[in-house]
Structure 1
Amino acid sequence: MQPIDALAAAFSPLRTHPFAYPALEVVHIVGIALLLGNLVLLELRVWGAGASLPVPGLARLTLLLVAAGFSLAALSGLLMFVSQANELISNRAFVSKMGLLTLAACNAAWFHGRGSLVKLDGVARFQVVLSTLIWLAVITCGRWIAYI
């Protein structure tokens, strides 16, 4: 038995229990909603909306919720992955989603590494638009996994 098959077998109750996988999908969607909803709120502030709100305080709140949402999405996504790893590894939508998640991480590292929350300049605005587009593409690929 290959290691990936052994892993899938260990998590087979996620596939066989009638409510386990749908429950994971709900957790995954809640995580995505927390992540994207709060990112968009912060990104709107970078674009100048809510100018009376101080960026550092808003960033502390929203990025904490972004991290919580990402954690929920990542953990539930990992559990869904191990329950059907062989199928997902060969799925183009899944592979694209993983590539886009890597791109989202690189964009976030670039955004925070250059101090974009302090600068709030044209590059910061470009980065947040790019972030939103990447996350929408991640969601799109995630939905397409079941259909490709």
Structure 2
Amino acid sequence: MYERSDNNTGTYGVIPYMDPKFFEIHSYHITEKSDIYSLGVLFWELTSRKSPFDFEKKTNDDHPSIIINILKRLREEPVENTNDKFVILYKKCWEHEPDNRPNILQVISELNCIDPENNNNVLTIPKETEKSEKTASVYSCQIEFK
């Protein structure tokens, strides 16, 4: 997609990852919240190991229908056995309204609270002496998705 403006700069992107507001309001300027939307879609893709809306298999003729589905607020379904906290996070990220999406610091904070060993529990921050290899990987965002 390309957005033309007076200074000849443009907005490019891959349709499933682009902020829906861009399709609604062609003068919409991409913001940090646009990046958060894309991040949410990417998080889903990491758990599914598939392209959103099977985009890679689509032709240019299919693009308008994908845009319409996005504008109808349709999103991919969470993959079974995905960590519940992670699903909640990426759904917040791909909210239709930018003001309802978290900022990057909130995303990082929520990622840091996800326990990769337990689907439904949240880690509490351990005392300095309680750090382990497991918590070190969580704090560095090296979360294993099964």
TM-score normalised over the length of structure 1: 0.27
Higher helix fraction (1 or 2): 1
Asked which structure has the greater RCO (Cα within 8 Å, sep 6+), the reply is 1
TM-score normalised over the length of structure 2: 0.28
